[in-house]
Amino acid sequence: MSQHSSYKNRGPKRFVSQFSTIISIAIVLYIYGFLCFLTISFDQHLNNLKEQIPFYIEIKDNAHEASVFAFQKKLQANAYVKLNSVEYLTKDVALSVLQDDDLLTQEEILLFGENVLPNMIRFCVKEEFFHDYKKIVSDIQSYNFIELVSFSESRIQNLESKVFPYQIILLVLMIFFIFVLNTLTINKLKLVLFSDIKVVRGLKIAETSIQLISKPYFVKCITNYLISGGLALFGIWATWLFMNSLLGPQEISNIKMWSVIFSSILLFIGILFSCFYFRYTIHKIISKPVDEWYH
């Protein structure tokens, strides 16, 4: 039996130690993956809010009905317009709508008891085109029967300023938990190496290569990460299903599947990084003389 067999199963204590290591890594990976999931969900929520910001096209009183109808059809067909968001508003409907959107007060709209608002077209912009909203507004205003395109610019500016700090906090926490994961793994490695110090000393005296000595430790590390990653991944998907069932089927609340898929990818990128760091560390430790491990 090879000397490396001492690293393998050593009874119930080794099994309990191995199980606790897997659970500990799984918990840290789950927290890291959940933070990734929250970061992506915040971004998705921001995009959903952008798609709910209405733009109002004020039509001149002397505009021909046929021109307005043709323009409305053309607007509906544009790639940047959110599906089913284009709506024609008469001045009476516009009065109540603008009040509901807190854009104007009734005193600002009514003059001597008369509604001075023009007829309008309301639409929303898809989130992937939202960064070009100023150009979209400029293009629409180039039509000679369009008086003005109005929107709540302060509402747009406030969106990112509110979400951005939370994203930064989550990013810092993600980096912190990667650090925790690596620290946990390396400390466990050092404990195992110290328990196997006689075995490693004998292998080094026999001039066994560093790659061969470190191989069983690295294989065990990969095994632990794969099992722990699988448990963490199951936890993230279960959390996603629970949150969707809790929030309900509403489009604004429903967290899309791509967010949990992307967070799963980030989880395994974190695992890959930790494995490379583990490999580097174990080679660095084993390359030192055994007597220097205590210093």
Phi, psi of 31 (to 5 degrees): -60, -45
Q: Would you state the structure tokens that stand for residue 228, as one six-digit string? A: 């722990």
List of residues 6+ apart from 123 with CB closer than 8 A: 54, 55, 57, 75, 81, 82, 85, 86, 87
Residue 203 has a CB neighbour count (10 Å cut-off) of 20
Q: Where are the domains of the chain?
A: 3-48+161-294, 54-151
**What is the predicted pLDDT for the residue at 234?**
92
How far apart CA 287 and CA 23 sit, in angstroms, is 30
Amino acid at 207: E
- Structural class in CATH, domain 54-151: alpha beta
Going residue by residue through the chain, which has 295 residues, state the pLDDT in tens, using 9 for 90 and above: 344 444 444 556 666 777 888 888 899 999 988 888 888 887 777 778 888 888 888 888 888 888 888 988 998 888 889 988 888 888 777 767 666 555 555 555 555 456 667 888 889 998 888 888 888 888 888 888 888 888 776 776 676 677 778 778 888 888 898 888 888 888 888 888 887 788 877 877 777 788 888 888 888 888 888 899 899 999 988 888 887 777 655 444 456 777 788 888 888 888 888 888 888 888 888 888 777 665 5
- HEC string for the chain: CCHHHHHCCCCHHHHHHHHHHHHHHHHHHHHHHHHHHHHHHHHHHHHHHHCCCEEEEEECCCCCHHHHHHHHHHHHHCCCECCCCCEEECHHHHHHHHHHCCCCCHHHHEECCEECCCCEEEEEECHHHHHHHHHHHHHHCCCCCEEEEECCHHHHHHHHHHHHHHHHHHHHHHHHHHHHHHHHHHHHHHHHHHHCHHHHHHHHHCCCCHHHHHHHHHHHHHHHHHHHHHHHHHHHHHHHHHHHHHHCCCCCCCCCHHHHHHHHHHHHHHHHHHHHHHHHHHHHHHCCCHHHHHC
